[in-house]
Structure 1
Amino acid sequence: MPEIAIIGGTGVYDPSILTDIHDDSITTPFGEVSFKTGIYNGVEVAFIPRHGSHHSIPPHKINYRANIWAIKKIGVKKIFATTAVGSLNPSMKPGDFVLIDQFLDFTKSRITTFFEGKDGKVVHADVSEPYCPHLRQVLKKAAGELGITAHMGGTYVCTEGPRFETPAEIKMYARFGGDLVGMTNVPEVTLAHEAEMCYATVSMVTNQAAGISQTPLTHAEVVATMEKNGANIKNLIMKSIELLTSVKEECHCASTIAEFGGFNI
């Protein structure tokens, strides 16, 4: 069973970084999830394209709970996720990677928890450190060895989508301390946190946000930047898998909700 999963965002649909690839599916309480598993460097890895293999699922329609539940069910302990983002921070330029450490949630219609009180269980998860510090250090080390620019830390503003943000919204997010803006990291990160798995996100800056960019925003621009840098993001994640055991594991991700009896499937 795979202990590592990759959740590929926009532009990261291709699991060909793995060998011995085969299709799998699993039925969850939230719907069926199809995914691929393969081998990298002797390690079994699960791969899920967040938007579907042909980018057919918009951000607000992604079945986040099903995806995370399925990943947990098959035995995964560590998740590397990728996201395409716009930048509010002048130091984070198109083509740069950011190893985010905080988020601001501006989504509107998404269910952000597995625990809705239906079984009499209410969980208040601590998200002081939403992204696994161990995986983030591994990613940092991998970026250094590969010579890839990766900012250590940044605040991801998650919006509902699928539209891009207005310049007024971007100005507000920047005043609130946001560095990057995207549409998919919440509730994925909080659900992974509740499911007691290590989770880290590699955000690739694809454009300057609305009002900062001198040109209108287009999805084609986002995809083009991701494709241009696709090799780098894949190399970064693969190198991180190689280095997992070389960085001392100091995190509490596996006991995030121990106070409430843990996450049981």
Structure 2
Amino acid sequence: MTDSLKKLAIIGGTGLTELEGLEITDSKEVSTPYGAPSAPLIFGRLGGKEVVFLARHGNPHRIPPHEVNYAANIYALKQQGVTTIIGVNAVGGIEDVMGPAHVVIPDQLIDYTHSRKSTYFEGEMDTVTHIDFSFPYAEETRQLLIRAAEKHDVAYSNYGVYACTQGPRLETAAEVARLERDGCHIIGMTGMPEAALAAELNLEYACLALVVNWAAGKTENIITMEEIEQAIDEGMGYVRQILVESITQG
């Protein structure tokens, strides 16, 4: 593996509470100064390489996006020596080419969330600390994911602005129109503060997003769970292919 992928973690979102094909070697319930992570950390081998897996919403899927303890999740992975994180996210599509079952490897994001613990740099500190967050995703890891998608002939986009909304409700059509005017291509609820917290701990972080529905107002139909589940069933296989290829070639 490259230096940046010495120890890789995968954070699985909706549709990925377990990592198929992972040869599990250990499972740990850990604690952090920020509380317990969403689920036990699962250690194993995938594609012949060591990997740590964490179910973002718990297993079973039970923690809504606005109640995920992102600070504990990221800190727990750092404690285990993880250096690189791939966050898998289920998202809605705004851009015309980013429909259901399409894979997106975003290069930017905009945070529309509120009331979430979004930094480790608070409380009694010796000095105010800022991080550069101009480019929120690690380019080396992004390129690894892009090469994996190309090798498996997956329908994907190698760019995208991820709009992170508060949830757990889906957005209104007017809100989606606003996000589109802001330049967003996909909408999710879990990309932040996850990416920023990883950056504060000097972890390489990239997002692998699966579009599971058209965003509100992009079609005449309402969004249904049946539609989302169908896209997950169709597209999560692509996500797993990309993950295995990235880990194997990384």
Q: Same fold (TM over 0.5)?
A: yes
Q: Does 1:144 align with 2:158?
A: no
User: How far off is 1:159 after superposition?
Assistant: 0.5
1:201 equivalenced with 2:207 (yes/no) = yes
| 1:17, distance to aligned residue in structure 2 (A) | 2.0
Residue 12 of structure 2: aligned partner: 8
**AA of the residue aligned to 2:121:** F
Partner Cα separation in structure 2 for residue 151 and residue 223 of structure 1? 21
Tell me what 1:46 maps to.
52
Q: SS where residue 230 of structure 2 aligns?
A: helix
How many angstroms apart in 1 are the aligned matches of 2:191 and 2:137?
A: 11
Q: Distance in 2 between matches of 1:228 and 1:92?
A: 14
Work out whether residues 12 and 53 of structure 2, in 8 Å CA contact, stay in contact via their aligned partners in 1.
yes
In the alignment, is residue 61 of structure 1 matched against residue 78 of structure 2?
A: no
Distance, in Å, in 1 between the alignment partners of 2:22 and 2:127 is: 39
Mark the runs of 5 or more structure 1 residues left unpaired by the alignment. Answer: 245-265
Native 8 Å contact 2:160 2:185 kept in 1: yes
Please tell me the root mean square deviation across aligned C-alpha atoms, in Å: 1.3
Indicate yes or no: 2:119 matched with 1:113: yes
Match of 1:189 in 2: 195
Cα deviation digits, residues 170-189 of structure 1 (max 9, x gap): 01000010111110000000
2:31 aligned residue (13, 27, 37): 27
Distance in 1 of aligned mates of 2:157 and 2:190: 20
- 1:155-194 equivalences in 2 (<5 Å): 155-194=161-200
Distance 1:79 1:7 in 2: 7
Q: How far apart are the structure 2 equivalents of 1:81 and 1:219?
A: 22
TM-score (norm 2): 0.93
TM-score (norm 1): 0.88
Give the count of matched residue pairs. 243
1:77 aligns with 2:83: yes
Q: Tell me, yes or no, if the aligned pair for 2:102 and 2:235 is still in contact at 8 Å.
A: no
Alpha-carbon shift at residue 77 of structure 1 (Å) = 0.6
SS in 1 for 2:73: helix
